[in-house]
Amino acid sequence: MRVLVTGASGLVGRALCAALQSAGHQVMRGGRHAQGPGAVVTGELGPDCAWFDGIACPDVIVHLAARVHQMNEDPSQAETRHRIANTEGTMALAQRAAARGVRRFVFLSSVKVNGEGRTSPYRADDPPAPVDAYGRSKAAAEAGLLALAAGSAMEIVIIRPPLVYGPGVGGNFLALMRWLRCGVPLPLATLTGNRRSLVGVDNLVSLIVLCLTHPAAAGRVWMASDGEDVSTAGLLRRLAVALGVPARLWPLPVGVLRMGAALAGKSAMVQRLCSTLTVDIGPTCEQLEWHPPLTLDQGLLRCAQAAGKSADI
């Protein structure tokens, strides 16, 4: 098949393009500054993106490109910018795809559509309850895509992952790896009661590839994860094993940790470290006959090995 992958230069996009090429598909790489064979230069995400200018129509589109959360952004601007990129940009691409006869549109959404702050696992059939601009923009895109599918021949598949990690990961996950590698004592030993779902990029790519053709995938929302939830302290200890270093964790009462984070302007980061956010992938596994090919420990090891070969940590 001809598969257009938007956001092809990102963490998920790089791994997905490699997997699709290995499977014999013709890959069209979409991005703001795409280069090389099959490159589709789109410019900034939004309703005016030049998705199909001068290229053959793909059979399937995997839409990974998105505007993600920006630290220290004015909330009033964030709402508008996320809507333009993630909602209006997605819908413009999908409408053009439907008009051109694209068979299936796979949209990488986010667990942020479900919300935050709940201790029980989030499910695909939960009512959307996003709490930030990014989550609201993804929820609006989901609703628009499903409405579009009802009036066209194009099939829509929506996948909601939690935090994605893997070779080339950045952000807070990379920061944790750096701290562990450098032997920084971390005051997180008391964070054993929370639970977090994660998904390794290899597992997520496996699910995306399956959703390109699986007949049961169309018209549905699917949750993704590694199939194992872990506490913050547990994750750090297992990541340390993958890195081949000791986990230098020491106990600090959670209340004191939150107070220190507030004084340092790191409340949002510490909130994520302390809170629970899990997803239920039971329906994904049962109805798509899918199982994460790598365990959590295998995914962490691949992530650590890749980081060890680069200048990231």
Structure tokens at 186: 């971390």
Cβ(109)–Cβ(52) below 8 Å:
no
pTM of the predicted model, to two decimals? 0.94
Distances (CA, A) of 221 to 13, 225, 287: 20, 14, 12
**Residues near 19 by Cβ (< 8 Å), separated by ≥ 6?**
205, 206, 209
Could you tell me whether strands 60-63 and 39-41 are parallel, antiparallel, or unpaired per DSSP bridges? unpaired
- Point out the residues that are catalytic: 134
CATH 3.90.25.10 describes domain 168-197+226-313: yes
Domain boundaries, the chain: 2-160, 168-197+226-313
313 residues of the chain, pLDDT tens digit each: 999 999 999 999 999 999 999 999 999 988 776 666 677 777 778 888 777 667 788 999 999 999 987 766 777 789 999 999 999 999 999 999 999 999 999 999 999 999 999 999 999 999 999 999 999 999 999 999 999 999 999 999 999 999 999 999 998 899 999 999 999 999 999 999 999 999 999 999 999 999 999 999 999 999 999 999 999 999 999 999 999 999 999 999 988 988 888 888 888 888 888 999 999 999 999 999 999 999 999 999 999 999 877 656 6
Q: How many CB atoms lie within 10 A of CB 101?
A: 12
C-alpha span between 30 and 169 (Å, rounded): 20
Write down the pLDDT at residue 271.
85
DSSP 15: H
Q: H/E/C letters for each residue in 197-260?
A: CEEEHHHHHHHHHHHCCCCCCCCEEEECCCCCCECHHHHHHHHHHHHCCCCCECCCCHHHHHHH
The yes or no reply on domain 2-160 and CATH 3.50.90.10 is no
What is the rounded distance in angstroms from the CA atom of residue 98 to the CA atom of residue 63?
Answer: 14
Residues in the chain: 313
SS3 of 254-278 = HHHHHHHHHHHCCHHHHHHHHCCEC
Detail the DSSP E strand segments found in 67-210: 104-108, 155-160, 163-165, 198-200
φ, ψ of residue 244 to 5 degrees: the values are 75, 35
